[in-house]
Structure 1
Amino acid sequence: MGLYHLDEERQAAVHKIRKRVIENIGRNMDLYGISISTGHLYGLLFFADKPMNLDEMGQEMKMSKTSMSTGVRTLLDYKMVNKVWEKGSRKDLYEVEYDWYQTFADFFDIKWRKSVESNILIFRRALDETSKLLKQHEDDEIITAVLLEDQAKMKEAVTYYKWLDRLIDTFVSGEIFNLVPKEPSIDE
């Protein structure tokens, strides 16, 4: 049953609680690299009792359709909302992904995998370049010492990123939940 079935006093009380939660979600979305307004949009969809279209979201949030579209696109990219189909509706409808564990796993994969791959690539190129430089200056003790020290640091970094890549795999496969089980519902 929706909020609008309540009298004004009860609607106001529920709205006050929801607003506080939505504002907090918005502030905390910066951890995901998401703007406050997009975080507020996520909060709105979280409390929605049915999927919403851009016009409805814009009306509720007092934002332009362009801003709504950009925010929804960001949330779709991070798999935090889903586009849904509803018979008879011509407009795209969106609802929040309520499985926060899966949302975090998807986000972790999307954001970190790209970073890991990029960093491994850069470190491997740098290791190749330092190896070539070592060969060119093998009789120069000073540059050799500097390059060997740099190589040791970069090899440790590659080792870390390979570990991080395996950690990401545990999120994608769901194995992480064997290591760190999901919390039971508060009602359980």
Structure 2
Amino acid sequence: MSESKETPKLKIEEAKDKVIGAIAETMDLYGVTPAAANLYATMYFEEQMTLDEMREELGMSKPSMSTSVRRLQDIEMVKKTFTRGSRKHTYAAEKDFFRSFMAFYCQMWDRETKMNLEAINEAQENFIDVMKDSGSTPDIMAEAKKYYDQLEESKAYYHWLEDLVASIRSGEIFEFLPKDKKE
């Protein structure tokens, strides 16, 4: 039985393919389409790429490529870069997973907090109106109070989430959860 000997270059490509596959497969956590995930994972091992290089490497259509790059830019996983003397746009993948995690989740948590606190405050105003309404029965007033209080308790989560985002953005979180843990 003859054992085929892999070249060092082939071993490098196989190792990169393993990581590219894993990254692409888990990017759905970020709400990223499989095409955009594969693009990001491929770009991760490159310094920068043009749209033409991306299309050539991945065989994607121009509209799909543009949509994927825009989505990755929106979630701060890819940045447009400048290359002196070139008129083509180049793009670079964010290689610092702490930074991409923080940017993505902070955006999502900010959105969640803002939307839900606005809805809660508006709903609580309605419940107050019901409790003050002389036409409300004691049962209706009790129900409005119950829901008002329930929403008031839920605000603790959103304020905690605001504090979490602030600690991530300031870097304070790394005092409690250091980046450089091994194993």
TM-score higher than 0.5: yes
Mind listing any 5+ residue stretches in structure 1 that lack a counterpart? 1-7
* 1:15 to partner: Cα distance: 2.2
Residue matched to 1:134: 131
**Does the aligned pair in 2 maintain the 1:137–1:143 contact within 8 Å?**
no
SS class of match (1:82): strand
Cα pair 1:138 1:144 within 8 Å, conserved: no
1:164 aligns with 2:161: yes
Change (3 A) 1:90 1:124: same
Partner residue of 1:46?
44
Residue 29 of structure 1, aligned match among 27, 30, 34: 27
Contact persistence 2:36–2:68 (CA under 8 A): yes
Q: Which residue of 2 aligns with 1:5?
A: none
TM-aligned CA deviation for residue 10 of structure 1: 3.5
Equivalent position amino acid for 1:183 in 2? D
Q: What code does the residue aligned with 1:21 have?
A: V
| RMSD, aligned CA | 1.8
Query: 1:77-130 CA deviation, whole Å, 9 max, x = no partner?
Result: 111112111112111101111221111111122111011111000000000000
Distance 2:119 2:99 in 1: 30
Percent identical pairs in the alignment equals 34
Relative to structure 1, is the Cα distance of residues 170 and 138 closer, same or farther in structure 2, using a 3 angstrom cutoff? Answer: farther
Count of matched residue positions in the alignment of Structure 1 and Structure 2: 178
Query: Which residue in the other structure is 2:67 paired with?
Result: 70
Which of 82, 95, 98 is the equivalent residue of 1:98? 95
Q: Alpha carbons of 1:18 and 1:146: their partners in 2 closer, same or farther (altered >3 Å)?
A: same
Counterparts of 2:73 and 2:129, CA distance in 1: 44
1:150 match: 147
Do the aligned partners of 1:26 and 1:35 also contact (CA within 8 Å) in 2?
no
Structure 1 residue runs of 4+, over 2 Å off?
8-17
Normalised to the residue count of structure 1, the TM-score between the two structures is: 0.87
What is the alpha-carbon distance in structure 2 between the residues aligned to residue 177 and residue 138 of structure 1? 54
The whole-number CA distance in structure 2 between the counterparts of 1:120 and 1:81 is 31
Note closer, same or farther for the CA distance 1:185–1:70 as it changes in structure 2 (3 Å cut). farther
Q: Which runs of 5+ in 2 are unaligned?
A: 1-5
Q: Which residue of 1 aligns with 2:11?
A: 13
